[in-house]
Amino acid sequence: MPGLLGGLATVSDVDWTRVYILFSDERCVPLDDEDSNYKACSSALLGKLSIPASNVLTIDSALGSADAMAQDYEANLKALLPSPGGVPQLDTVLLGLGPDGHTASLFPGHALLDETSKLVAGIEDSPKPPPARITLTFPVLHAAREVLFIAAGAAKAPLFQEAFSAPALTSGGKQPPAAWDAGVIDHSIVSVRDDLPYPAFQVRPATGRLWYYTDAAGASLLPEMLRTIVATKAAL
């Protein structure tokens, strides 16, 4: 996903000194390692921005263990965004979607899906290499003001087909509301199933907004009316 972010470097009128960037997850490797999310993001975007280095929160790989790095990262998060309720509220969380339905480093069936006390957790047995990582947990993701998923490609199509349902369209042959012509989706008609085992579709901001962005390949298995919505949104 970092490669998709390069276009942000051309956005004008952004005061990057007021922007802080954190990582939803990171591999427990040195920042110059080929597996580092920071290195990938730095090459694609951060290195092209006039953003102070101190505004980008990175892991301290010298701490050794995933748990130690996670505890340090959580302390930095709390220092940046103190919260009386205990869970800082991030303005925008940008997430990807793996073919297995994982997001950040929250994997299907993993014990971290039930983590409620830690804001940042270490993981030593990631199903994807490298095995040692840190990740934001559900409490932080659910507290965000806005969550955006970017999931392009045909490998994501079966997941979107399974996740999105439009009962009012599949029964009775109803036509979409006129508002959909403007790219506005009525979530009382189009919904995300809440009985799926995929962590990506268990992210539900409590008071914030939730968006899914895909391309034609990712939307290829959706019902025709939902594909129309995706195409309309893309054209706005």
pLDDT of amino acid 215? 86
Residues forming a β-bridge with 103 = 106
Residues forming a β-bridge with 147 = 93, 210
Pairing of strands 209-213, 133-136: unpaired
CA-CA distances (angstroms) from residue 66 to 107, 180, 228? 16, 45, 44
pLDDT of amino acid 207? 87
Would you call 129 exposed, middle or buried from its count of C-beta atoms within 10 A (0-12, 13-18, 19+)?
Answer: exposed
Could you tell me which residues come within 8 angstroms of residue 10 by beta carbon, excluding any fewer than 6 positions away? none
* Backbone phi, psi, residue 146, to 5°: -155, 135
What digits encode the pLDDT tens for the residues 11-32? 888 899 999 999 999 999 999 9
Residue type, 110: H
Asked whether the predicted pLDDT for residue 165 surpasses 70, the reply is no
Domain ranges, ordered by start, for the chain: 2-235
The three-state secondary structure class of 229 is helix
Q: For the sheet containing 93-95, what is the strand order? A: 93-95, 146-150, 209-213
What digits encode the pLDDT tens for the residues 30-72? 999 999 999 999 999 898 888 999 999 999 999 989 999 999 9
DSSP 103: B
Please say whether the structural domain 2-235 has been given the CATH code 3.40.630.30. no
What digits encode the pLDDT tens for the residues 174-223? 555 444 444 444 444 567 888 899 999 999 998 888 888 888 888 888 87
